Structure formats: structure tokens, C-alpha cells
Structure 1
Amino acid sequence: MVAREFRMIQRRDLLLWSLTAGVSSTWGQANPDPNAWLETLESPEALGWVNGQNADALALIAKDPDFARRRRETLAALSSSSNIQFVSRQGEHLYNFFRSARRPHGMWRRTTLEEYAREQPSWQTLLNVDDLAREEARNLVYEGANVDAGSQRALVYFSSGGEDKLELREFDLKQRGFVADGFKAPTAKQSISWFGPDELLIARATPDSQTTSGYAMVLRRWKRGTDLLAAPEVLRCAPGDVQVWGWARRGEQLPPAALLHRRIRFFENERFLLQADGPARQVDLPLDCNAWLDGEWLMVGLRNPWTTAGRTYPEGSLLTIPLAQALEAKREIHLLFEGAGRRRLVRTERVKSGFVVAASDNLRPQLVFHRRTAEGFRATPLPAPEFGVLNINADQPDKSNRFWMTTQAPISPQLYALVDAEAPAAPVLAKSAPHAFDASALAVQQFEARAPDGTPVPYTVVAPKNRTGPVPAVLYGYGGFGLTVDLEYQRMAGINWLQYGGALVLAHIRGGGEFGQAWTNAAKGPLRQVGFDDFIAVAQDAVTRGITTPKQLGIYGASNGGALVTAVLVQRPELFGAVVSRVPLTDMLGFTRLFAGPSWIEEYGDPARPADRAVLAKWSPYQNATKADGGKTYPPTLFIGNRNDDRVHPAHARKMVAQMRSLGHGSTWLYEETSGGHSGRSDPNIYALREALIYSFMRLQLAKPGA
């Protein structure tokens, strides 16, 4: 049956369903979902419908005269030989992965520090993934490598098209080839770590051993030359948990040690210390903290206050405990970073004489060197930029106090430097990224909107500095899982939007992690509407300040951000002129049935529990959309899904498009990518097409005459 016939059947079924659309409390067996057939990922019926939608979306986007230019310039920027080639140190080598339009699968390579300091360093290619993909006739995507410098071996991870499932192969760095009889693990959702040169920690999700979230339920110690399935278990979680996994510590010439995690909920873990001899033993830590091993230290990041040994450490703090004392009742605990107000920890890196801590205070970067002393640690501030984002990575933590530092801001490209904490003013070397767009006519400003509950909500605006009135603007937000909307260099928006005279607005709403755990918790679970209200407040404030107008304001979000913009589209459509929702969640009463959905219950709530369901039913976009003739006309909306996404099911986007069209919102489109996974960044060609699609759509809708 052809796609057109299926669309006719779909319209008929949706017409019957639309009589009860929006009555989310009755969603279930008494009111079956007529779009459930779109959840069957690659059925002929679903694919026929999707292909028709893709053709319609591309035909629309082709009307933008600058679409081809956007795509071409984006691809050129992604592939430019002038881009900084970021590296990671393992032993005496610096490792890098490089991909371009001509080499979309990429090359894994390495060089020396002396060579890397040159303007045009030479590289030793270890693995040409383009050649490998051709040889195996697969869309093979490199997903990283874990190098054991001592044994000159590496664990190399691949995916099919960028999905979350990985396969493992062991690689010989000397021979520059895969080890014929080495460690191999076929594709699965799995975590794998070295535990000495001849042993791995591996947790694999298989049909007979996976949680309801689709992740691994059993962690094993797998010795070289033995059968994986016969490898002894070291930790098992319950089917209703999220997953189990383990990761060994960093540090040269140290005996194997790993911190194992039984992940009960998304942010709750029991931790167990596994050493070379003996069973795994549970470590007394808060369930909701972050914890990892680094050298001879147990690192603990607090999401909430923790009282131990007569002292209370505030939320957002970073602690370190000598690993030798991790299992003892009395432990030496050092406070490296104290959470307070709008301060948050960005990253910490161990160096030879202590730790370097990168933080943010009200979106302003901070950097501190904590030197180990006989009494504990002595803090010394290090130079940091006044604005933007700062990140760090240790160079050789067992041998020096050097670390790699990256700085950037919305219209300032990345600077990459190797810095010594003992002499930070004189970098060992520095590299700068090229300007991807002309920012000379742009200015960055920060404002605060006022949420309905009175909370000030910060947002950042990048716009023409000499504008004389409102301009088309794209408002971006996320607001979930404690993740931040950082003030990074806006390369994609700059190429595709800012250089055409538009404005970009970055909303730092609650639910995100910009200002610590309290900011995150304020819009979590049953409080989700708080984040939506914050986003709406930012939109209204941008209009009030004359930055843009409702007809000129587009909103964009991806993943949880896709849920955000789709929810506010349904709630306040009059505030926006266009919407792009990428790899979104939309069916919040059915999300736990799809892919990794059960793992997000802690973030959103459980639709199987009546109290949670009642809250979700109030904002779930799929169930709350209303007819176009009911007084709410939705602005033009583009949904972008990915068929290769095994994290957020593409049915969320598919079904929302089908539902909105059935309700009379004809200006609704779907474009479904076929590769790239959830992030969609595994191939520069796919990535460039996607970015051009987003901003060409925005231009077509927001730059109309009279807008």
C-alpha cells in the first residue's frame, strides 16, 4: 500500500480520536492511541508515511534561497583543517579523532607533544574508520577508545550509525591493528572498562539479562582468553533498577581498583569498591551523589546536603576521601568546592600535587588549584576569563601539574592551552579556533525575566549591536536532568542565523544545572511546569524589551528540550511564530513503554502511579493538543526525529505530527533522519543538513513580510 493511502486511513482514524483528544485522564484502553502503529520502527506502513513527511518537509525548506549556502558553510566549518584538534594524553602520546565531509567515519590518530606544538602537526594514523566501514559494508561510527598505556592496548568502541548500542574490539597500538584473539564484545548497550591489562569489567544488556530500561543488569570480571558468558559476576541489580556498571580508576602503576554502581534510579546509586583481591564492598555514600575514583582518591560530588562524622556539607559541594579510607567508619574528608547560591562545579581534574577545580559563579568562570599539604589542601585562584565557559582536562596527572584548558564565549571561538598550575600565566602551548562567522556587528547581553512565582530567570542574548527595532529571534532552552545551557561559542547558530541578522536567546531556566542543585530540583518531577513557566517568562521578557515580537520569535529545543518547546507550544501558542522540536519526548503518558523511557521516571514521574499520571496528564503535549478551531492556532512547527535513535523513540515526533495535523494544524512538518543516533552528530554531512534545515525553517517562518 502506498504512503498516500496510509495517510488517508490515518486521517480517518485520527478524526475519530480527535473527538476525545486532550482528555488525557482517560487515555488508555478505553481511548486507544490511533497512532500506535507509528511506534513500529521500520514497518512498511510507518516508513511509507515517514518518507512522505520527509518529502514534504524538504520541499518546504527548499523555498529558502539560502538553504544550500547554510548547508555548505556549515559543512565547511565542521571540516575545516583550521579547527582545533583536541587531544587526550595517554602515556607519551596525544590521541585525537578527526572526521570531515570527505572522511565522515573519521580517523583515530596520535602524535607527540613536541609535534602537536607545531602549527601543522604530523599524525600517526592508528585506525581509518572510513576504510573499515567500507570493508565491512556498515555504517560504522567510532565512539571512543580506552587506552591502557602500560600494555599498549586499547578498547575501541563502535556503534551502528551513532546509536547508543556499542560493540567492543581490542586494538594493538604497536601493530596498529585489532588483536586477532583479543577482547571482543558484540553490539549491545554496555559499559566496559580495563581492570588490569588482561581483565575487563563488562556489563552487557542482553535479552535475558537487562533491566526494564534496556540496560545491563549484571556486571562481570572478564579475564583474557575466557568465555564472556562464563565470567564471574561481581554485581547484579534488580530488573526494575536502571542499570549496573563499573569504571576503574585512573592512575599509572597502581593496582586495579574500580567503583561499581548499582543505579537504582537515574540519580540514585549504591556504590561498591572492587579491588584486585576480594569481593566488592559497599561504600557509605549518599545515594544521590556523584562518585568516581581518581588515582588514590575517592571523589564525591553532592546533589544534596550530606551530614557525616558530625559535619554537614552543603549541596553542590565536591569532596575527596583517601581511597585507602573509603571503607572505614572514620574517614578523612576534604572539601575542595563548597556549593552556595548560584555557584556550581563544572569539572575537577587531579594533577601531581593536588586538584584543579573549574567552577561557575552566576555564569562567570572560576578556576582554583588545590595543592596537597600536610594539613589538607591549600586553595590558590588561577586566572580565568571573565565571561563564557571554561573546561579542563589533566595532561599527565601522575607526573606533572599541567592541564589542558578550553575557554570560549558565545561570539568568541575556543582557545585551547596547556597550562601548568604552578605557572598559569605562561601556557606551555596555545591554539585558537577560527572564527566561523563575522561577529563584529554582534553584542552579547544578559537579562533577567521574572517567573510567575517571582524568581528571576537569567537569559543571554546574542543580537546585532546596532539594531533599531525587533528582529527575528530563536529562543533555545533545555531545563532538565541538571544539564546546563552553557555560554559556548555559537558556531552553528552563528553560521546559519546570526550572520543573517537574527538574534539568539539562551534561556537558563529551572530544571537545568546552571545554578546548582536547588535550581535543578525546582522544576523536577511534579514541579515540571515551573520550567515551562520560566521559559514562557523569558519569551515574554524578550518581547517586552523590544528584542523581538511574538511573530518573529521561534523556539528550539532537543530531547528534553524538545519536550519543553512542544509543551509550551501547546500551552501558549500565541507567543511564538515558529517551533522546532528535535528528538523530543511528547507522549508523557506512554514514554515508559518506549526504549530507555523507564530510566527517566525519577526526572518526570511514573505514569503508572496515579498521582504522577495526574501531573503528567496536565502537560503531556501529545494528549493536550487541541483543535485548531478551538481558539488556539499553533504556529508553524517542524519536528525532527531520528530513526537510528535508540534512546528517545522516534515515535514521539511521528505521533505528535500525526496528532497535530489531525486536529487541523496543517503547518506541521516532520523530518526524520535515518542515521546519527540521538545526538545526530556522527557524520558531518548529516549534521550540516540538519542545522541548515532548522534555521532555514526559522527564516521562512519568522522573516515573512509583516512579521
Structure 2
Amino acid sequence: MTTHLPSVTDDPHLWLEDVTSEEALDWVRRRNARAEAELIDEEFAPLEGQLREILDATDRIPGVVARGEHLYNFWTDADHPQGLWRRTTWESYRTEDPDWEILLDVDALSAQDSVTWVWHGASVLRPQDPSAPYRHALISLSRGGSDADITYEFDLHTGQFVPESEGGFVKPEGKGSLSWIDADTVYAAVDAPGTGDDGEAVTSSGYPRLVRRWSRGTALEDAPPVVAVGSDDMVAGAGRISTPGYERDLAVRVLSFYEAETYLITQPDDAQPGGAWPELTRIDVPLDCRTAIHRDLLVLMPRSDAHLGGVEVPGGGVAVVDLEGFLIGEAAVQVLFAPTAATSLQGVITTRRAIVLTVMEDVVQRPEVHFRRDGAEDSGEDGAGGMDWVRHDVFTDQKGTLSIAAVDSRESDQVWLTVQDQLTPVTLHLGDLAPLIDADPGGETLEPIKQAPARFDATGLSVTQRFATSDDGTSVPYFLIGPAETLTADEPTPRPTVLYGYGGFEISQTPSYLGLVGKAWLERGGVFVVANIRGGGEYGPRWHQAALREKRHRAYEDFAAVARELVASGVTTVPQLACRGGSNGGLLTGNMLTQYPELFGAVVIQVPLLDMKRYAHLLAGASWRAEYGDPETDDWEFLRTFSPYHLLSAEADYPAVLLTTSTRDDRVHPGHARKMTAALEELGADVRYWENMEGGHGGAATPAQQARLSTFVHRFLAQQLGLTPEN
């Protein structure tokens, strides 16, 4: 008879959920020492050094954000592991060695404050006068990499934080945010005591329930309210669209991970008097329809088929309509993109006069541009559907994963285009759609700006895409990266192989340059495989919804089908095959361990969800009930079928397993990995555990920590699967 541990009602390892208790931390230290003693072999230090060199390389492409005459960048390297916030000019950025103005040295700040500050981003306010210099910024920093952070106002003129005593905006530590309205006003989504009738400041997911409109020099607790959500909703938000002539204020009530209500805020320029709530006008679309506003247009992106403005818009499609006309029910909606069985929408951005879609077909991307023929804003008489919209494929000579971002959607039709694949480093281009929009078909320009160098020797390596057949007959794509003779031979020599997957939250696993994996695994003769299983977004919402909640098993069946195919085709053998995944991917590999142990020689489970009975009570877990189900209801009957912590069996023969997490992870609770390890140890399984004391949900807070974590993972895989440099 199979024995399942632990029981739902009696969890002997519950004490490990007390993240910082001395007893729990002592348990962690002992297991860290045990894992390090095993994994730090003669090849560990050289590999760690090589990976650290990649992460600290000074010839990486500095990603930038344009604000006014400057391009802003956040940078880390060996001398600045916590990072530098800096800026340069367009002219200087085009050179091989740009001249950077340092705005904030996070390492120096960490030393000054005796805190390991981790950069969470900056927001620079556009001045209302276009000729005025940029001055006001909000900078968010977290302690040790946690999701919770503190936001401080920063003066770009003085290069200093604005003290709270002098009217500077400071958001208390928490998972909220500040966003600019104007130089003296912000929207503040914060942990505010007394928000609801029950006095709870945050939702059950741990996010702010209330947004306030906060004016400089006033107390945050006195700031008038804007929008709030219930205790069991997800989060409240608000923001200002500052495009000249199209200024609007928006409020959002996020009810669950896939449902939200968006409102236009009607209020005077100064805060509403007497602390009264402002008037909110809801944009009347289904809860699962994502929206965006650009100038006079409302962009509609429903997750499921929707009847909008008298038009059927398919789930996963994109439509546009005149905003003001839509609000009064007098505008026609025009569909710009409708998915097919093979195509899906992967991204939507706007430039001043265009909407740029990233469309994917069987995990191969292409951009297409849509604009109104005259290039002007709609008169509003007939709505977006009454205009003559034009569609063009652009940058068709670029192959691989294409990431597109607007340079400045208020001012220009320029875009940043990055191109990469598994073996080709990133190239950054500056594109301009203006010639195309100005009636010159094929006239868009593309200027190469920077190219990253190779980080590993790809000689003899190749990439191929194949399809496995899942249990229900679904065709599941996957990419193999490795020695060409292994991927193309009729009778290949089996090699150590790592199968990676995620399969959740409509997140697509697109081809990207494998810098660390290339150096640590591919260069040494290993094979790396990425499975595009259901639950992801590779084929749009339908691919995601096919593995939601009670259908979660489809994702695991897909992954198992790929694993079987790798062995059947001779790419690898079971003892030479490992799987790896993190976060939701850790839940995936946890289920591979407990449901398909016979398919793998080793399993890596990183920052995972594993206890699906308790997950909604831990940190941000409640926000994922739309993805997995609610264990406090009858949903537990299907949740228990993919809760690895409850599927452990004393009779199973588990492969070697490595679990990693972070003490500072305040998104997915480290208790998941801790308790799973303790339960596996009780069963006598071959398990090792390593927990970084910092790092947040990413598992590492600095390049040094990233390199060390990656080295632990790859030395475990190499030891278990028999990969040596001679392979």
C-alpha cells in the first residue's frame, strides 16, 4: 500500500515555514554545508569564475530608457555588484565606450546604510514644459532582493535623495508603489492601516488595497483615496497618462491574476476636496479583457472571445476603437489581429502613430505594424473602425527572438529592436517606422547600434525544433540545443541532457541567448532542451487555459511526453536526463519527481511551489488561485493531484534531486522547498538542499550570487549525469 506524506491535517514540517527562526535557519545552515561539501569539487571554482566573468563582463550591451536628451541605464559589474544608475547622451551611446554620468552608486549606498540594497527601478518624471530639463525621479530599492521595497525621491539636478523632512516623497517598505502625477503629486499604492472595514492594509495576496493621491508636504495618511479593492481581491493601482493633449488618469482594481476593472478618474487638478473619493468611469469590457490607452485610442486584448462595440473579438486577438466614442457606445471596434491554430500574440507596443504587434507562429516571432493611412489621430466621427488601417510586416530579414520597445511613444515612431537566439548573442538596433507611415512601403529603417560578444564557443552546436505528442494527442513543440551530430544523426550517441520548462501564467519560453548554460553545459558537450508546454503563452490564451486549475495535469503530461521522446529518439538515456525549473517551473519539476520519477536521472527544483494545500496562505500565494485553484474549497480535490509535497511515497524510487531557494524570497515562500527537503530526507531519498540567505525570488541578489547558484546547479547536473569536459 502506498504511503503519502505528510497528511493534509498533520504537517510535521510546518515549523520550517518560520523563515527567520533560529531553529529553521540552523536547519538551513546544516544542509547548505552538506550540499557545498558535495558539490564544490575541483571543477567548481573554475566554472564559478567563468560564469562570474560572463555576468560581470563590461562589454555587455547596456539597456537604456530614453528620457529627454539622455539615455538612462542600470549597470552591474565586478566592481559594482549592487549597481550604478547612470545616463549618457544619444551621441555618446553610439560610441564603443560611452561617457556615463553616474547618478547613484548603489554599492556605496549599501555600505553607507549597512544594507544590501537591490535595485528595483526608477521612474523619471517628464516635465510639463517640453523645454525644461528633467529633474524629478523616484527610485525603488529592496533589502536583499525581496519584492517589498522602499521608494525615495531623487533630484537629478543635485544628484541627491530629497529628504522627507524637506518634502521628499518616501514610500514605506512594502509591496506597493509610487507613480508620478506631476512634480508635486504622486499616486501612492501603499500598505495603509485601516484601509478596509476589517482594518487590513493589504489583500490576502499581500498587496496594497488602497491608492491615495498624495501631495507634496502633506502626510500620507491624510492623502485622499482614489480606488480600493476588497480584502480577497489582488491589488489596487492608479496612474497618469501624460501625453500632451491626451492627459488622463486611470485607476485599476485587479480582482485576480486574470481579471481587472479599469476606470477613468474624474477629479480637479488639485486633489478632490475633503478627502472625498473621485468619480470613476469604468471602461466597460469583460473582466479578462486587457486594455491600454494610447492618445485617442483604446486598445482591447481579450483573453476569451468577447463582443465589444458590436464586434466579435477573438480571445488572444487585438482590436482598437476610439476611446471617447466607445465610452458613449457610438464607436466601431476594428480587429487588428486574430490568432490562428499556429499563431499567437506575444506583445503590443505603441509609437506616436503606430501599433506594433509581435506575433509568434510555432514559437517563431515576427513583428507587424498597424497604422491609420493618413498617419493622423482619428477625428472621432466614425471611431477607429471608420479609419483606413494599414498593416505591414517589418524587419523581415531579422531572425530569432525579436523584442521591440518604443523609444518614446509620445514623441516619435522609433523603436528599439533586440534580436537573439540560443546560440547568437543579442544585437541591438534602432528602428524608425516614420518612413513607412509616411507612405513609403518598405521604407522603415533599422540601424545596428550594439552587438554583444559570444560568451561560449558555439562551434559544432546547432538548434533544432521538434514536436512531441502528449497523452491527449496534442503536438507540443520543443527546442534542442547541442552538438550537431547528436541532433541530426539517425543513430545519435546519447548525451547528458537537461530538459527545462515552465508552463504557467501564459508566459512563453522563447529562444534566447544561453550565455551561462552555454558555458557551463553546452560547451562541455551537454544537450539543453526547452519544452513549450501548455500553461505557457506560446499559442496564446488557449494554450494557457488548456492547463489551468483542474487541467494542470496537461502541462505535466506535455513535459513527460518530451522527456520520453528525447530517450526514444536516442538523444539521451534516462540516467543521462535531468529536468530543471523554477517558481511555477519548480512546481513542474516537483511533479516530475513525484509523478514521473522513472523518466529522469536527476531533478532540479528552484524557488518552487510544492505544498498546494498551504500555498494560498503563504506570501503572494493567494494571488495565484486563478491559476491553480483554491485549496480551501472543493478545488482541493484536484489540487491534491499535483501537490508534490502530498504526493511523496515511501515506496517510490526517486532520482537524485537538488532543491534551491532564498531566505529573502517574499513571493514564493522558502517553506515550500524546506519542507519538501525534510520530507524527502525522512523517506531516505537522494536529496540535497541549498538556500541563499539573500536574493529574493530570483534566488540571487548580485552577480556573484548568481554565478555561485548557477555553478551549484550545473555541478550537480554534471555529477549526476556524467558530463565531463571530455564528453
* Range class of TM-score, shorter chain: over 0.9
- Is residue 334–residue 376 contact of structure 1 (8 Å, CA) maintained in 2? no
Contiguous gaps of at least 5 residues in structure 2: 128-133, 194-199, 269-277, 375-386, 436-442, 487-491
CA deviations on 1:148-195 (whole Å, 9 max, x unpaired) are 121521111111111111211111112222123211112111022112
Match for residue 344 of structure 1? Answer: 344
Rounded Cα–Cα distance in structure 2 between residues aligned with 1:300 and 1:613: 34
Compare 595-604 and 416-425 and name the one that shifted more.
416-425
1:391 aligns with 2:403: yes
Structure 1 pair 298–160 and aligned structure 2 pair: CA distance change class (3 A)? farther
Structure 1 pair 295–179 and aligned structure 2 pair: CA distance change class (3 A)? farther
Match of 2:670 among 646, 650, 666: 650
Residue 70 of structure 1 and its aligned partner are, at CA, apart by: 1.8
Match for residue 51 of structure 1? Answer: 29
Rounded Cα–Cα distance in structure 1 between residues aligned with 2:408 and 2:261: 30
- Is residue 248–residue 293 contact of structure 1 (8 Å, CA) maintained in 2? no
CA deviations on 1:501-553 (whole Å, 9 max, x unpaired) are 00000000001111111110001100001100000000000111111111000
Residue 21 of structure 1 and its aligned partner are, at CA, apart by: 4.9
CA deviations on 1:355-400 (whole Å, 9 max, x unpaired) are 2222211112111121223524211110235642111111122332
Question: Which AA in structure 1 matches 2:283?
Answer: V
Match of 1:669 among 664, 675, 688: 688
Match for residue 512 of structure 1? Answer: 536
User: What SS is found at the alignment partner of 2:619?
Assistant: coil
- Is residue 656–residue 687 contact of structure 2 (8 Å, CA) maintained in 1? yes
Residue 681 of structure 1 and its aligned partner are, at CA, apart by: 4.6
Match for residue 476 of structure 2? Answer: 457
Rounded Cα–Cα distance in structure 2 between residues aligned with 1:569 and 1:505: 18
User: What SS is found at the alignment partner of 2:263?
Assistant: strand
Compare 263-272 and 50-59 and name the one that shifted more.
263-272
Residue 676 of structure 1 and its aligned partner are, at CA, apart by: 1.2
Match for residue 427 of structure 1? Answer: 446
1:188 aligns with 2:188: no
User: What SS is found at the alignment partner of 1:72?
Assistant: helix
User: What SS is found at the alignment partner of 1:493?
Assistant: helix
CA deviations on 1:660-679 (whole Å, 9 max, x unpaired) are 110121x1011001111001
Match for residue 614 of structure 1? Answer: 637
1:263 aligns with 2:275: no
CA deviations on 1:455-489 (whole Å, 9 max, x unpaired) are 11110000101244010000000001111111111
Question: Which AA in structure 1 matches 2:114?
Answer: A
Number of residue equivalences: 677
Residue 250 of structure 1 and its aligned partner are, at CA, apart by: 5.3
Structure 1 pair 489–276 and aligned structure 2 pair: CA distance change class (3 A)? farther
- Is residue 474–residue 504 contact of structure 1 (8 Å, CA) maintained in 2? yes
Structure 1 pair 339–681 and aligned structure 2 pair: CA distance change class (3 A)? farther
Match of 1:37 among 3, 12, 15: 15
TM-score (normalizing by structure 2): 0.90
- Is residue 5–residue 645 contact of structure 2 (8 Å, CA) maintained in 1? no
Residue 334 of structure 1 and its aligned partner are, at CA, apart by: 3.3
Structure 1 pair 204–527 and aligned structure 2 pair: CA distance change class (3 A)? same
- Is residue 457–residue 534 contact of structure 1 (8 Å, CA) maintained in 2? yes
Match for residue 380 of structure 2? Answer: none
Match for residue 205 of structure 1? Answer: 191
CA deviations on 1:300-328 (whole Å, 9 max, x unpaired) are 22211111233111111122333434532
Structure 1 pair 21–190 and aligned structure 2 pair: CA distance change class (3 A)? farther
Structure 1 pair 662–115 and aligned structure 2 pair: CA distance change class (3 A)? same
Match for residue 172 of structure 1? Answer: 155
Rounded Cα–Cα distance in structure 2 between residues aligned with 1:225 and 1:256: 24
Match for residue 649 of structure 2? Answer: 626
- Is residue 402–residue 419 contact of structure 1 (8 Å, CA) maintained in 2? yes
Compare 339-348 and 532-541 and name the one that shifted more.
339-348
Name the % identity. Answer: 36
Rounded Cα–Cα distance in structure 2 between residues aligned with 1:299 and 1:681: 37
Question: Map of 1:288-687 to 2, 5 A cutoff?
Answer: 288-373=288-373, 375-384=387-396, 387-422=399-434, 426-467=445-486, 468-610=492-634, 612-627=635-650, 630=651, 632-665=652-685, 667-687=686-706
Question: Which AA in structure 2 matches 1:197?
Answer: A
Rounded Cα–Cα distance in structure 2 between residues aligned with 1:325 and 1:200: 29
Compare 499-508 and 165-174 and name the one that shifted more.
165-174
Compare 394-403 and 112-121 and name the one that shifted more.
394-403
User: What SS is found at the alignment partner of 2:11?
Assistant: coil
User: What SS is found at the alignment partner of 1:427?
Assistant: strand
Rounded Cα–Cα distance in structure 2 between residues aligned with 1:585 and 1:402: 41
Structure 1 pair 684–23 and aligned structure 2 pair: CA distance change class (3 A)? closer
Residue 338 of structure 1 and its aligned partner are, at CA, apart by: 2.1
Rounded Cα–Cα distance in structure 2 between residues aligned with 1:119 and 1:324: 47
User: What SS is found at the alignment partner of 2:405?
Assistant: strand
Rounded Cα–Cα distance in structure 2 between residues aligned with 1:513 and 1:250: 31
Match for residue 156 of structure 1? Answer: 139
Rounded Cα–Cα distance in structure 1 between residues aligned with 2:57 and 2:604: 28
Compare 193-202 and 655-664 and name the one that shifted more.
193-202
1:122 aligns with 2:99: yes
Rounded Cα–Cα distance in structure 2 between residues aligned with 1:49 and 1:21: 25
User: What SS is found at the alignment partner of 2:140?
Assistant: strand
Structure 1 pair 93–21 and aligned structure 2 pair: CA distance change class (3 A)? farther
Compare 54-63 and 203-212 and name the one that shifted more.
203-212
Structure 1 pair 44–668 and aligned structure 2 pair: CA distance change class (3 A)? same
Match of 1:216 among 203, 208, 214: 208
- Is residue 192–residue 221 contact of structure 2 (8 Å, CA) maintained in 1? no
Match for residue 119 of structure 2? Answer: 142
Residue 635 of structure 1 and its aligned partner are, at CA, apart by: 0.7
Match for residue 9 of structure 1? Answer: none
Question: Map of 1:96-115 to 2, 5 A cutoff?
Answer: 96-115=73-92
Match of 1:66 among 27, 36, 43: 43
Rounded Cα–Cα distance in structure 2 between residues aligned with 1:179 and 1:256: 27
Rounded Cα–Cα distance in structure 1 between residues aligned with 2:388 and 2:140: 39
Contiguous gaps of at least 5 residues in structure 1: 1-18
Structure 1 pair 166–589 and aligned structure 2 pair: CA distance change class (3 A)? same
Structure 1 pair 497–385 and aligned structure 2 pair: CA distance change class (3 A)? farther
- Is residue 612–residue 631 contact of structure 2 (8 Å, CA) maintained in 1? yes
Question: Map of 1:219-258 to 2, 5 A cutoff?
Answer: 219-249=211-241, 251=243, 253-254=244-245, 256-258=247-249
CA deviations on 1:316-345 (whole Å, 9 max, x unpaired) are 112233343453222343333222223222
Compare 387-396 and 584-593 and name the one that shifted more.
387-396
Residue 97 of structure 1 and its aligned partner are, at CA, apart by: 0.4
Rounded Cα–Cα distance in structure 2 between residues aligned with 1:256 and 1:191: 21
Rounded Cα–Cα distance in structure 2 between residues aligned with 1:320 and 1:172: 38
Residue 352 of structure 1 and its aligned partner are, at CA, apart by: 2.4
Residue 425 of structure 1 and its aligned partner are, at CA, apart by: 6.1
Rounded Cα–Cα distance in structure 2 between residues aligned with 1:69 and 1:326: 61
Match of 1:693 among 687, 707, 712: 712
CA deviations on 1:126-149 (whole Å, 9 max, x unpaired) are 111111111111111111011112
Match of 2:56 among 70, 79, 83: 79
User: What SS is found at the alignment partner of 1:697?
Assistant: helix
Question: Which AA in structure 2 matches 1:235?
Answer: V
Residue 574 of structure 1 and its aligned partner are, at CA, apart by: 1.1
Question: Which AA in structure 2 matches 1:221?
Answer: R
Rounded Cα–Cα distance in structure 1 between residues aligned with 2:614 and 2:458: 44
Rounded Cα–Cα distance in structure 2 between residues aligned with 1:642 and 1:473: 26
Rounded Cα–Cα distance in structure 1 between residues aligned with 2:43 and 2:4: 38
User: What SS is found at the alignment partner of 1:484?
Assistant: coil
- Is residue 579–residue 637 contact of structure 1 (8 Å, CA) maintained in 2? yes
Residue 20 of structure 1 and its aligned partner are, at CA, apart by: 8.9
Aligned Cα root-mean-square deviation (Å): 1.9
- Is residue 371–residue 377 contact of structure 1 (8 Å, CA) maintained in 2? yes
Match for residue 381 of structure 2? Answer: none
User: What SS is found at the alignment partner of 1:285?
Assistant: coil
Rounded Cα–Cα distance in structure 2 between residues aligned with 1:596 and 1:432: 38
1:27 aligns with 2:8: yes
